[in-house]
């Protein structure tokens, strides 16, 4: 089951033909797609406000709640909502485009483009992005210090009366240089293709039915540095296929809702491979959920049971969660006070590609199994004054039924120089707190994140961060500066210093200059990746142009 890069052009052609040649149907209501936002992430300090987007993972879902704090640990750039230039010459504009292009030292390039129709009949969207990093500080790309990510995505919706038909596909390719730290391999590369088709039908009295079918193919392969070494065929090359089917029946009336859901997943190793522990996995689950919701209060509960071939010591595992959330700005309080809390028993499985994409310089040689956790998480935001607020979140997770969490083992390298990913029991308690203050045209913020018990293998025990940003009254230009210190036994003692200056040339064109990990950049020093022989990108200076039309 081979998918070569030379077929990318044919893949793009297939997407465009499939999505635009469908017949036009009448629809009873306009389908509106959300604004497209992309983000670029790396291993260095967060870039400033309104910077370039990040190439995050698309399919995996983080089981943790999003933090309320600003993140400074990664090189993030994101699209903010901005006015879109109108060149429709008096006619109603229905097709839009936006993009970002830029480059930087030492050897960066980014291109991120999207075209979409969000209103009218048969909406669609097409996205393409490419990010390459050639060279790490004083180290050359030819010595294995490089990364690149490419992504192509397309989706089209066709509405017939009260039925929506949605077809979509995606292709991703990642390349990671191994920095001459592996005796066997020169680099690790992966490509992944996704496809999905869903049908959503609305009935009278608030009833709705939805069917989602999907599949994916993941291929990881390595460039051989020394073919005489002995290694598993899965270390050099692995192919994995996943298929899934989801059925959902729901009913909602006024502020009440109720839903029944069923899902089936199947995964298998394809092609040639050496003897492995797990080469096939089958999993099924059924659940029910209910809740009550108004403009500012949401009360919900759900529960079900999951079973399959790789559930650990159990043949089946129950799961449930319940919670409540409150949004003060839409309540009679009319302020920014908000809180949320939920908890229960969580059980899920990660795909092989999710784990390999999350943990850099690591790989699996068999399919991962179930993860189960008891969990509680909570978050609160309190306005101290009209211009200041404090916020905090906390999360507790404890392994259940001996179904441990899968993490990279970065303190033990294999003979090939690549790290293993394995499950382990853990008790996690983490907090994330901070404050923000708006003073005239300046915004000040600070935060502190801590892992009190278990420290995930790709994190440090503590993170302390602060930032200041300025936006002119006309919003025509501005700047931001951020500093973060990672505190842990294996952390680099040099803080992450970053900044951005932006200028809005027009309503539809924005220019920005960004520095990330500036101290390392100017000192031409390295930054270690966790406690390994590998390095992360230490410093970058970039210029970006963002446009809308």
Residue pLDDT, tens place only, 495-547 = 999 999 999 998 899 999 999 999 999 998 999 998 889 999 888 999 999 99
Q: Which residue has the higher pLDDT, 401 or 22?
A: 401
Token pair 């994330």 is found at 432
pLDDT of res. 239: 94
3-state helix, strand and coil shares in percent for the chain, rounded to the nearest 5 = 10, 55, 35
Would you place residue 85 in the very low, low, confident or very high pLDDT band (cuts 50, 70, 90)?
A: very low
Would you place residue 57 in the very low, low, confident or very high pLDDT band (cuts 50, 70, 90)?
A: very low
DSSP letter (8 states) at residue 329: G
The 10s digit of each residue's pLDDT in 356-380 is 999 999 999 999 999 999 999 999 9
Q: What is the mean pLDDT of residues 151-164?
A: 94
Cα 450 from Cα 433, distance rounded (Å): 9
Q: What is the mean pLDDT of residues 286-315?
A: 95
Cross-strand partners of 498: 482
DSSP letter (8 states) at residue 93: P
pLDDT of res. 270: 85
The 10s digit of each residue's pLDDT in 468-480 is 999 998 889 999 9
Cα 409 from Cα 407, distance rounded (Å): 6
The 10s digit of each residue's pLDDT in 3-24 is 343 443 444 344 433 434 443 3
We find that the CATH architecture of domain 5-548 is Beta Barrel (2.40)
Q: What is the mean pLDDT of residues 333-349?
A: 92
Least confident window among 165-169, 193-197, 263-267, 336-340? 336-340
Would you place residue 305 in the very low, low, confident or very high pLDDT band (cuts 50, 70, 90)?
A: very high
Instruction: Give the contacts of 326 (CB within 8 A, at least 6 positions apart).
Output: 296, 297, 298, 337, 338, 339, 340
Tell me, yes or no, if the pTM score tops 0.95.
no
Q: What is the mean pLDDT of residues 343-355?
A: 96
Q: Which residue has the higher pLDDT, 426 or 232?
A: 426
Q: Which residue has the higher pLDDT, 462 or 120?
A: 462
Cα 361 from Cα 26, distance rounded (Å): 50
Under a CB-based contact definition with an 8 Å cutoff, are residues 121 and 165 in contact?
no
| Exposure class string for 157-182: b at 16+ Cβ within 10 A, else e | bbbeeeebbbbbbbbbbbbbbbbebb
Cα 487 from Cα 448, distance rounded (Å): 11
Would you place residue 91 in the very low, low, confident or very high pLDDT band (cuts 50, 70, 90)?
A: low
pLDDT of res. 228: 67
Give the residue among 396, 378, 304, 309 at the shortest CA–CA distance from 347. 304
Per-residue pLDDT for 290 more than 90?
yes
pLDDT of res. 47: 40
pLDDT of res. 453: 96
Check the CA dihedral 393-69-424-401 and report its sign: positive
pLDDT of res. 92: 65
Mean pLDDT of the chain: 84
Per-residue pLDDT for 76 more than 90?
no
Per-residue pLDDT for 73 more than 80?
no
Cα 269 from Cα 264, distance rounded (Å): 18
pLDDT of res. 52: 42
pLDDT of res. 492: 83
The 10s digit of each residue's pLDDT in 408-434 is 999 887 788 899 999 999 999 999 999
Cα 172 from Cα 40, distance rounded (Å): 14
Q: Which helix (H) or strand (E) holds 199?
A: strand 185-202
pLDDT of res. 227: 64
pLDDT of res. 229: 67
Q: Which residue has the higher pLDDT, 391 or 45?
A: 391
pLDDT of res. 231: 75
DSSP letter (8 states) at residue 65: P
Q: Which residue has the higher pLDDT, 549 or 496?
A: 496
Give the residue among 459, 245, 276, 232 at the shortest CA–CA distance from 368. 276
CA distances from 149 to 40, 354, 425, 537 (A): 10, 15, 33, 15
Q: Which residue has the higher pLDDT, 497 or 120?
A: 497
Q: What is the mean pLDDT of residues 222-237?
A: 78
């Amino acid at each position: 089951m081979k998918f070569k890069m030379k077929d990318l052009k044919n893949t793009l052609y297939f997407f465009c033909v499939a999505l635009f040649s469908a017949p036009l149907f009448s629809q009873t209501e306009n389908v509106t797609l959300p604004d497209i936002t992309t983000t670029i992430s790396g291993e260095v300090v967060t870039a400033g406000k309104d910077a370039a987007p990040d190439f995050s993972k698309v399919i995996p879902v983080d089981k943790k709640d999003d933090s309320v704090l600003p993140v400074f640990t990664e090189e993030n750039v994101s699209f903010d909502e901005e006015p879109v230039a109108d060149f429709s010459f008096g006619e109603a504009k229905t097709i839009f485009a936006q993009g970002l292009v830029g480059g930087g030292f030492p050897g960066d390039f980014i291109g991120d483009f999207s075209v979409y129709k969000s209103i009218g009949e048969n909406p669609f969207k097409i996205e393409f992005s490419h990010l390459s990093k050639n060279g790490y500080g004083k180290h050359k790309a030819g010595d294995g210090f490089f990364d690149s990510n490419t992504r192509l995505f397309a989706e089209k919706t066709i509405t017939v009366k009260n039925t929506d038909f949605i077809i979509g596909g995606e292709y991703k390719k990642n390349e990671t240089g191994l920095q001459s730290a592996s005796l066997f391999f020169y680099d690790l590369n992966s490509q992944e293709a996704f496809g999905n088709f869903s049908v959503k039908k609305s009935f009278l009295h608030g009833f709705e039915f939805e069917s989602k079918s999907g599949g994916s193919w993941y291929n990881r392969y390595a460039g051989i540095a020394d073919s005489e070494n002995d290694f598993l065929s899965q270390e050099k090359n692995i192919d994995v296929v996943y298929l899934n089917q989801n059925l959902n029946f729901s009913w909602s009336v006024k502020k009440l809702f109720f839903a029944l859901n069923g899902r089936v997943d199947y995964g298998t190793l394809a092609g040639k491979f050496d003897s492995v522990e797990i080469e096939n996995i089958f999993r099924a689950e059924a659940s029910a959920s209910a809740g009550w919701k108004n403009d500012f209060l949401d009360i919900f509960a759900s529960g079900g049971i999951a079973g399959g071939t790789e559930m650990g010591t159990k043949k089946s595992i129950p799961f449930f969660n319940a919670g409540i959330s409150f949004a003060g700005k839409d309540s009679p309080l009319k302020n920014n006070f908000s809180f949320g809390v939920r908890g229960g028993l969580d059980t899920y499985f990660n795909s092989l590609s999710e784990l390999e994409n999350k943990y850099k310089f690591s790989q699996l040689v068999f399919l991962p199994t179930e993860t189960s956790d008891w969990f509680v998480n909570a978050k609160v935001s309190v306005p101290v004054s009209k211009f200041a607020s404090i916020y905090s979140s906390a999360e507790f997770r404890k392994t259940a039924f001996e179904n441990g969490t899968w993490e990279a083992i970065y303190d033990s390298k294999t003979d090939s120089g690549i790290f293993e990913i394995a499950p382990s029991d853990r008790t996690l308690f983490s907090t994330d707190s901070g404050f923000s203050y708006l003073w005239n045209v300046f915004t000040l913020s600070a935060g502190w994140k801590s892992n009190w018990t278990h420290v995930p293998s790709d994190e440090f025990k503590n993170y302390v961060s602060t930032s200041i940003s300025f936006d002119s009254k006309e919003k025509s230009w501005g700047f931001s500066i951020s500093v973060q210190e990672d505190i842990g036994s294996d952390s680099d003692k040099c803080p992450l210093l970053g900044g951005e200056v932006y200028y809005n040339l027009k309503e539809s064109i924005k220019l920005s200059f960004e520095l990330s990990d500036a101290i390392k950049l100017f000192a031409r020093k390295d930054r270690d990746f966790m406690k390994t022989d590998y390095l992360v990108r230490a410093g970058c200076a970039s210029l970006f142009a963002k446009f809308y039309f």
